[in-house]
Amino acid sequence: MADVHHEIVYFTGHVQGVGFRYSTLQVAKEFEIAGFVRNLPDGRVHLEVEGRPGDVAAFIAAVEERMHGLIRKTERSAQMRPSQLAGFALL
């Protein structure tokens, strides 16, 4: 199986209790990506996404645009790996 672009993203700010995960799910429907989003106990939101590099980058940019004003900091790490995700889920 071919490798895909995979990113782990942590969003910090006023990102819990504001519909962040649901909005991320809605944005995901507009892109050919797979992944999940979940709240962390420390108040951050954890996003994992994989797909073609351009699709992943555009998806993350769209999430940041949709949630503008709530995100104070975005931390991203990327790698190429075999596909491990299917669909997009709220965890």
The residues annotated as belonging to the active site are: 21, 39
**From start to end of 1-91, where are the E strands?**
3-13, 33-39, 45-51, 71-82, 88-90
